[in-house]
Amino acid sequence: MIIGLTGGIGSGKSTVARAFGTRGIGWVDADDIAREVVKPGEPALHAISERYGPSILQPNGELDRAALRTIVFAEPTERAWLEAQTHPRIRQRLIERLDELLHQGSPYVLLVSPLLFESGQHTLVERALVVDVPQELQLARTQARDGVSHEQASAIIAAQLPRDARNQRADDIIDNSGDENALDARVAALDERYRQLAAHRTLS
């Protein structure tokens, strides 16, 4: 069984994934795969550099992610072009990595993806778990973590599915605006439920 773990930027998806990980649950992070498909030598990076020129690359040949982010969040058509280049490649690698994890014996696995619904990756999962926090907390965490301006953080949030719409599509919601103990208790309860569901699927 595959559980989709999603939430807006700065909601704490990685923190929640690690909490499941301490209980022996494997996960694949779509953000990690997204960085992987634009590494030097990858076809997606070649396409990006052809479109935007050498200034989009750092001296070592790596993608200048900050420069690309500035372009795509200012121009919706450019974001759409970039997604057309990267999303199919990300999806294929996600399928491969999830399959590897399932064959390693984890009772269920997590697909951690900020764009679970927007990218169509929700079709790869049986259930969707949304990590939810107020937008003010999203902004504060994103600015502190990524060193971006309030305007850039707001643009990233605006490019994602609205909070209410995301929550409406969730099978489960976990509030990550509290302390670690509250989060751990909620993860423990969900882990028990998911193990039961996975066992039932296996038996049936």
User: Which residues belong to the annotated binding site?
Assistant: 10-15
Binding residues for ATP: 10-15
Output the DSSP codes for 29-87: EHHHHHHHTTSTT-HHHHHHHHHH-GGGB-TTS-B-HHHHHHHHHH-HHHHHHHHHHHH
Distance, in Å, from the CA atom of 14 to the CA atom of 187, rounded to the nearest integer, reads 13
Distance, in Å, from the CA atom of 87 to the CA atom of 37, rounded to the nearest integer, reads 10
In contact, 64 and 57? CB cutoff 8 Å: yes
Distance, in Å, from the CA atom of 14 to the CA atom of 129, rounded to the nearest integer, reads 13
In contact, 129 and 170? CB cutoff 8 Å: yes
Instruction: Return the sign of the alpha-carbon dihedral for residues 171, 159, 18, 137.
Output: negative
